[in-house]
């Protein structure tokens, strides 16, 4: 319990974690002109959102863009942090042609730079090319996105479920899947029946 009569001790400036985090984010930003020069037509839409560099790509451009930022000696984004996805179904401005956002986050270890790629996919055909040919570590991250959201990665070496059992039929992180499932958890035989 804090004593209300006593004022809270003022933290020294080194404990100003918010300011430090903001500086770290700004250090990670990439010069937009450099990206436009390297990516050309592939990166028409480059923004800085919440102090982070974001490139909006499409299904047609994402694979080539990742290849360039990985292989280019000046950019040198040699690490794939994560691949994940967002289901936009419950958004106010929802549109079936923008059902899923697939997000690739890449990081340059030598330059301390970070880029987020966002790719919108339609509800009826959620397909995107694999990043596993450029970043080997992408294979399992893509398996997880496939398992949870049902996004198919074209050219993936081994696109199987990674978390849910193989016989599972749904993609549970989709917003139209109920939180408590569709009865899969109650669907086992009792031990006496198996014996």
Positions touching other proteins (CB under 8 A) are 164-165, 172, 177-182, 184-186, 188-192, 194-195
**Helix locations, 45-89, DSSP H:** 62-71
| Min separation Cβ 164 and other proteins, Å | 7
Q: Which is nearer to other proteins, 18 or 185 (CB)?
A: 185
d(CA 86, CA 102): 7
Contacts of 83 (CB under 8 A, 6+ apart): 102, 103, 104, 105, 131, 138, 141, 142, 144, 145
| Min separation Cβ 143 and other proteins, Å | 15
Q: Which is nearer to other proteins, 157 or 181 (CB)?
A: 181
| Min separation Cβ 192 and other proteins, Å | 7
Q: Which is nearer to other proteins, 54 or 173 (CB)?
A: 173
Query: CA nearest 87: which of 183, 176, 19?
Result: 176
| Min separation Cβ 163 and other proteins, Å | 8
Check: CB of residue 171 under 8 Å from CB of residue 152. no
């Amino acid at each position: 319990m804090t004593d209300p009569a006593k004022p809270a001790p003022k933290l020294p400036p080194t404990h100003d974690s918010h300011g430090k985090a903001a500086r770290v984010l700004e250090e990670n930003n990439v010069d937009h002109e450099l990206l436009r020069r390297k990516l050309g037509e592939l990166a028409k839409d480059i923004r800085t959102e919440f102090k982070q560099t974001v490139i909006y790509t499409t299904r047609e451009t994402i694979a080539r863009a990742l290849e360039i930022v990985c292989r280019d000696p000046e950019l040198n984004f040699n690490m794939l942090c994560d691949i994940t996805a967002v289901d936009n179904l419950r958004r106010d401005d929802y549109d079936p042609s923008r059902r899923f956002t697939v997000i690739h986050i890449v990081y340059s270890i030598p330059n301390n730079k970070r880029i987020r790629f966002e790719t919108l996919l339609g509800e009826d055909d959620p397909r995107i090319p694999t990043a596993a040919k450029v970043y080997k570590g992408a294979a399992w991250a893509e398996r997880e996105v496939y398992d949870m959201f049902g996004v198919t990665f074209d050219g993936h070496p081994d696109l199987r479920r990674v978390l849910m059992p193989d016989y599972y039929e749904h993609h549970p992180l989709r917003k139209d899947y109920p939180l408590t499932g569709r009865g899969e958890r109650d669907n086992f035989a009792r031990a006496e029946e198996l014996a």
